[in-house]
Amino acid sequence: MNLKNLISVARGETPASLLLKNARIINTFVGEIEQGNVAICGDRIAGIGDYDKAKEIIDLQGDYLAPGLINGHTHIESSMLHPARYAQAVVPRGTLTVVTDLHEIANVCGLKGIKFVMDWAQKLPLDMLFMAPSCVPATTLETSGAQIGTEEVKGLLTSPNVIGLGEVMNFPGVLSGDEKVLSKIIASQGSVIDGHAPGLKGKELNAYIAAGIFSDHECTVVEEGREKLKKGMYLMIREGSSEKNLDALLPLVTDNTYKRCLFVVDDCSCSDLLHEGDIDAVVRKAISKGLEPIRALQMATINAAVYFRLYDRGAIAPGYLANLVTIPDLSKLEIDMVFYKGKLVARQGRPLFSLPYIQPELTHTIYIKPLTTELLSLRAKQSNLTEETSPIIEIIPGQIATKKRVEKVKVVDGMIMPDLEKDILKLVVVERHKASGNIGLGLVEGFGLKQGALASSVAHDSHNIIAVGANDFDILKAIKEIERLQGGLVACANHKVLAFLPLPVAGLLSPEPLEVVVAQFEKLEKGAASLGNLPPAPFSILSFLALPVIPELRLTDLGLVSL
């Protein structure tokens, strides 16, 4: 930025590099719409007013002009897209700033995985800002591929685009005063520290906030969100592919509270990115639910900018980054033109930027010990009975939290068996980083499979291989296909692979274009749907069943975990 030139353009002495004229400008500071022209000098907004001279002039003819959208909490790995392909997906949707915690790829590849994304971010018309992962691994209750300790966190915090500490998922560690957890928080003092505190309330919530953690994206009910707002937390209202909290939490957004609320997606699939959008989809849904459009946009722009101390974005004002979007119809929130740092980078849903060559990186990360169906057998406590009492993970529709149930299950020849009539299926987690041979075995209810099996190397947060199935033979077939692919998602039936999606980058990401990945993913979901009466986003649901920091019951490679 040439400051002298910027001032000259702002004073009207020098022509702007770009002039956006006849705009209805959304003022996110005061929640108003004003008519005017916006003069841009390089990557900055010089001024708003009756400017008329510029090297390039675009007449918006009354279209709305809004700041570029900010996704305040996401894990880009959940899109299953290479960082470059991710940018191609979200930039045309108006997302120009992403705050991402890379604990998914970090749990597989450590600092090398984080550097991989950071290096790519420098080549893209999208500001990726990073939160240093606080929980790699998330807990000691599973096996991860890497560890990021306090010294690594300190090192990351010195990087230019690392702006804070990622969600502190190990809330039991905070409450118990675990030294390893607290040392990372202490090292991050003075920076933004994101929270992850499902169900915390009362004195336990007080203790968590007292540690310096001032946001949460895990609220699912109004009472929980209201308490967290009252105690000073920013409320991240999440609406992703499998975590949908907008309907429940929108009543909390009032004239008194809205500045402390922001929209996030947390985890969004490639298919949803293509068909629905990114943070724009959340804003659009909020508007359809009755939220005033300008307020909805404030929650996806200036509110996130203020929380993350990003004082150069989130609004259209002199000196701010020229990250802008045009919107013909505010009620529909369809993004037309997208400007990144004063350059037109997308229009009518299409990216206008090209990508560097994507070479294979972070491949061959799946290592498992040889498996047999015998190793997948879930032995009963007493082999002479036909049933016994066992814990079962119950899926809650639309949430990543689960319920713990204990009920009688079938036993055949000393083995606990799936019960398709009761929708009780076998759940398996196989350690894939060190070929340790660790296998977690359990039962899950609510998946709807009547035959076959599903498997995935996307299993939050350590990303071991997770599989669910109606029989051990198909489960074994699906797991072996994951090994052959060196990462991906698989649907099997009758000992045959029905469909698959290869994810060769860390077992998490595909280098293919968005449309290709979505076509593979949708074929896979169609194959999975043919196996029974499955819930929406079955692979997303499956990926969270191994996450041991979410209540109430989970399965990791080390066994069942109850919270």
Residue 472 and residue 478: Cα distance in Å, rounded? 10
pLDDT surpasses 90 at 401: no
DSSP 469-482: ESSHHHHHHHHHHH
Give the tens place of pLDDT for each residue, 459-479. Answer: 998 999 999 999 999 999 999
Residue 430 and residue 32: Cα distance in Å, rounded? 54
Name the pLDDT band for 398 (thresholds 50, 70, 90). confident
What are the residues whose beta carbons fall under 8 Å from the beta carbon of 516, sequence distance 6 or more? 510
How much of the chain, in percent, has pLDDT values that exceed 90? 93
- Asked which of 188-197, 270-279, 395-404, 477-486 is least confident by mean pLDDT, the reply is 395-404
pLDDT surpasses 90 at 274: yes
The pLDDT of 273-299, averaged and rounded, is 97
Nearest to 91 by CA among 348, 287, 330: 348
Q: What is the pLDDT of residue 242?
A: 75
Q: What is the pLDDT of residue 186?
A: 97
pLDDT surpasses 80 at 450: yes
CA–CA distances in Å: residue 504 to residues 13, 365, 457, 509: 54, 8, 10, 6
How much of the chain, in percent, has pLDDT values that exceed 70? 100
pLDDT surpasses 90 at 397: no
pLDDT surpasses 90 at 490: yes
Q: What is the pLDDT of residue 139?
A: 81
Nearest to 465 by CA among 475, 452, 451: 475
pLDDT surpasses 80 at 40: yes
Q: 83-90 vs 514-529: helix axis angle to the nearest 10?
A: 90
The mean pLDDT value of the chain amounts to 96
Residue 261's DSSP bridge partners are: 235
Give span(s): CATH 3.20.20.140, the chain. 73-285
pLDDT surpasses 80 at 547: yes
Residue matched to tokens 């708003």: 48
The pLDDT of 333-356, averaged and rounded, is 97
Higher per-residue confidence, 384 vs 183: 183
**Domain 73-285 CATH superfamily:** Metal-dependent hydrolases (3.20.20.140)
- What burial letters (b/e) apply to 439-451, b meaning 16+ CB within 10 Å? bbbbbbbbbbbee
CA–CA distances in Å: residue 372 to residues 77, 368, 472: 31, 12, 9
pLDDT surpasses 80 at 1: no
Q: What is the pLDDT of residue 223?
A: 97
Nearest to 138 by CA among 103, 102, 112: 103
Q: What is the pLDDT of residue 400?
A: 81
pLDDT surpasses 90 at 385: no
Give the tens place of pLDDT for each residue, 96-140. Answer: 999 999 999 999 999 999 999 999 999 999 999 999 999 898 788
Residue 33 and residue 362: Cα distance in Å, rounded? 47
Give the tens place of pLDDT for each residue, 155-172. Answer: 999 999 999 999 999 899
What is the three-class DSSP state of 363?
coil
The Cα angle at residue 346 between residues 59 and 71, in degrees rounded to 5: 110
Residue 503 and residue 65: Cα distance in Å, rounded? 38
pTM: 0.93
Give the tens place of pLDDT for each residue, 6-19. Answer: 999 999 999 999 99
